[in-house]
Amino acid sequence: MIENLALGFAVAFSLENLAYCFAGVALGTLIGVLPGITPLVAIGMLFPLTFTLPPIPSLIMLAGIYYGAQYGGSTTSILVNLPGETASAVTCIDGYQMARQGRAGPALAIAALASFFAGCVGTLLIAFVGPPLGEWALKFGPWEYCALMLMGLVASAVLAHGDAVKGLAMVALGLLFGIVGTDVNSGMQRYTFDVPELFDGIGFTVIAVGLFAVAEIATNLDSREPREVFTGRIPRLMPSRHDLGDSAWPTVRGTAVGAAFGVLPGTGPALSSFAAYMLEKKLAHDPARFGRGAIEGVAAPEAANNAAAQTGFIPTLTLGIPGSAVMTIMVAAMMMHGFAPGPQAMAEKPELFWGIVASMWIGNMMLVVLNLPLIGVWVRLLRVPYRWLFPSIVMFCCIGNYSVNNNPMDVYLCALLGALGYVLAKLECEPAPLLLGYVLGPLFEEHLRRAMILGRGDPSLFFTRPISLAFMLGTGLVLAVMVAPVLQRKR
Amino acid sequence: MLGNKDFLAGLVFLAFGWAAIASARDLPAGTTLMHMAPGDFPTGLGAILALFGVYLMARGIGWPEKTPAPVGWGWRPVTCIVASMLLFGLLLPRLGLVAALVAMFFAAALGGREFRWGEVLVLTVVMTAFAVGVFVVLLKLPFQLFPGIYLA
């Protein structure tokens, strides 16, 4: 394991890769901190930029963008009370209160330090858990893969916030979008309507940018909520010794909670940060402090969501099954570079696999070393008016989509999906499960058809093979969670 | 009564499910589970989606107060954004990047809450220069700047 990590660091520490990692972190933070831009939008917008690079630098830069954008998200939740994503929604509660009490500096510093600690632990976990898990996954047949994907898809729909039935419907819609294109088994065209640009399927950028960036701009423009921006100066950045002492154990506990949640496909960072916050509130001597600027309320959820984000790479890299919307972007980017994550990848391309793992740690470290001194710059960015921002985001979306195939059709499709995403968002349908369905759709069908051929059309094998049965029971459990509150309400 | 979010979302899903089943009819269907054909998976999914749609519509009718009608449909922003992207795609191959971006910026900015000529003009100039610098010069994307004029 140690030699694996060493190989990874050797790859990631080359001057070129360090530069790309830095560029990614800086760009990710820059975009992620702009008001009204969630980390997902930032990643979706920036990742076409990485296409022109060779695989390793490109993925390293993407990992940097990811961490930068996440960090930018926690900055906006602390300073603007505007959670960039669900994962940092909990950070708003106490982080924003701290900012109002003039303690924005320590809040931001603790958020970064707790994230860094969690990131280190997460990286080690990937290094230790990844290889055995990958080896175990080599025993998976198509049944196990199907059952695991089913569990991930159902979990992403049910456990995400919002209505579970709508989430499941969005998964089904996403699976359908994934079918568009040439069927790999028969070579037949499905849902392509004789449009040649659709023969290869709907591009990933088209879906991600359309549903997340374009739809979100339209939604932002017609909401009229006034935004209170923290505009005061930040007098002191470094937390006191007292602050550090207060947040040490919450950070450790948050990391543990996050690491556990992160491995489960579909649950992801959002749930873990919420769970970590509740745990701290339970354990505190004086729970009333929470909600009024308790530093533990920043440290624990930030550690948890970063640990979960990090361990989320475990199922993504070893099994090839992304657990969250951001992970699906990472998987799609890897596939574009001819690197299909999964148990084989680790053995075949160790320098790529371990290079990514190591660069995630470096990305984390760069955040602390470079971004804390730059806080003043990020704060100023928060005051950029949205009417300047949104046309510029549209520009990135247009150029990004056009450049993938050098074809205007991708831009047209992206615009249409943006309109669809806007309507769905207005109807309270979350786009994340759709994206997961879209990425897993082709894989799911392939494994399902293989399972049916190998099992001579016998679906009972899903329930008689032990590992597959375990995943099926997991799926059932998640569905039970969904039905339970309905039953309680009826009583 | 039929304007609530559940009913409308159900309607959208039902429409997509029905369309999926209808256009999968041209694809061959399998005879047994062992010989699944290209049409089976899409048809199954379409059926599932349609069922979710019907359930949501029923829930919307039976329990309309749970999800009230969506508020603040802003057709102008979404129309302007979509139109600006269509313009970009239409103009880039014909008139080049600069013209496409000018059209895109003005169309998109019309969707905002306030539209100030001078500001949009400055924004367009600055961002177009940025795009040419980063995407064409630095990343070497093969875009024509003006009709027939490429940068190396």
The reply to whether residue A172 touches residue B49, judged by beta carbons under 8 angstroms, is yes
**A222 → closest Cβ in B67, B77, B114:** B77
Q: Please give, rounded to a whole number of angstroms, the shortest distance from the CA of B34 to a CA of chain A.
A: 4
pLDDT tens, residue by residue, A314-360? 888 887 777 677 777 777 777 777 777 777 777 777 777 787 778 77
Asked if residue A264 has pLDDT above 80, the reply is no
pTM metric for this prediction: 0.82
pLDDT score, position A470: 87
Mean pLDDT of A128-150: 85
Please list the residues that pair with A182 across neighbouring strands: A189
The reply to whether residue A186 touches residue B38, judged by beta carbons under 8 angstroms, is yes
Q: Please give, rounded to a whole number of angstroms, the shortest distance from the CA of B89 to a CA of chain A.
A: 5
Pick the residue of B14, B23, B26, B41 with the most A CBs within 10 A to test the interface with A by mutation.
B41
**What is the distance between the alpha carbons of residues A435 and A174, in angstroms, rounded to a whole number?**
6
> What is chain A's mean pLDDT, rounded?
81
pLDDT tens, residue by residue, A185-195? 778 888 888 88
pLDDT band at A275 (very low <50, low <70, confident <90, very high): confident
- Look at residues A221, A224, A223, A217 and name the one whose alpha carbon lies nearest to residue A395: A217
DSSP secondary structure string for all residues of B39-61: THHHHHHHHHHHHHHHHHHHHHH
Asked if residue A481 has pLDDT above 70, the reply is yes
Mean pLDDT of A73-99: 75
The reply to whether residue B52 touches residue A49, judged by beta carbons under 8 angstroms, is no
**B141 → closest Cβ in A183, A391, A403:** A403
pLDDT score, position A86: 63
pLDDT tens, residue by residue, A158-173? 766 678 899 999 999 9
B chain contacts of residue A409, beta-carbon cutoff 8 Å: 89
pLDDT score, position B93: 92
Residue indicated by tokens 């293989």: A450
The reply to whether residue B36 touches residue A448, judged by beta carbons under 8 angstroms, is yes
pLDDT tens, residue by residue, A396-435? 889 888 887 888 999 999 999 999 999 998 888 888 889 8
Question: Do A462 and A146 form a contact (C-beta atoms < 8 A)?
Answer: yes
- Give the 3-state secondary structure of residue A189: strand
pLDDT score, position B9: 93
Whether the CA torsion B134, B137, B141, B147 is positive or negative: it is positive
**Half-sphere exposure of A455 toward its Cβ, with a 13 Å CA cutoff?**
22
The reply to whether residue B81 touches residue A452, judged by beta carbons under 8 angstroms, is no
pLDDT tens, residue by residue, B28-84? 877 777 677 788 888 999 999 999 999 999 988 888 777 777 777 778 899 999 999
pLDDT score, position A491: 42
Question: Do A188 and A198 form a contact (C-beta atoms < 8 A)?
Answer: no
**What is the distance between the alpha carbons of residues A263 and A316, in angstroms, rounded to a whole number?**
9
Weakest-pLDDT range from A24-38, A260-274, A399-413, B131-145: A260-274
Question: What is the complex's ipTM, to 2 decimals?
Answer: 0.92
| Cβ–Cβ contact A406 with B under 8 A | yes
Query: Which pair of structure tokens corresponds to residue A150?
Result: 């089913």
Mean pLDDT of A75-104: 76
Instruction: Parse chain A into domains and list their residue ranges.
Output: 2-490
pLDDT band at A84 (very low <50, low <70, confident <90, very high): low
Percent of chain A residues past pLDDT 70, beyond the cut: 90
pLDDT band at A36 (very low <50, low <70, confident <90, very high): low
Q: What is the DSSP letter of A295?
A: T
> What is chain B's mean pLDDT, rounded?
88
Task: For chain B, report the end-to-end CA distance as a whole number of angstroms.
Answer: 61
- Give the 3-state secondary structure of residue B144: strand
B chain contacts of residue A386, beta-carbon cutoff 8 Å: 112
A chain contacts of residue B120, beta-carbon cutoff 8 Å: 391
B chain contacts of residue A482, beta-carbon cutoff 8 Å: none
Please list the residues that pair with A91 across neighbouring strands: none
The reply to whether residue A419 touches residue B82, judged by beta carbons under 8 angstroms, is yes
Q: Which of residues 369-398 of A touch B (CB under 8 A)?
A: 386-388, 390-392, 394-395, 397-398
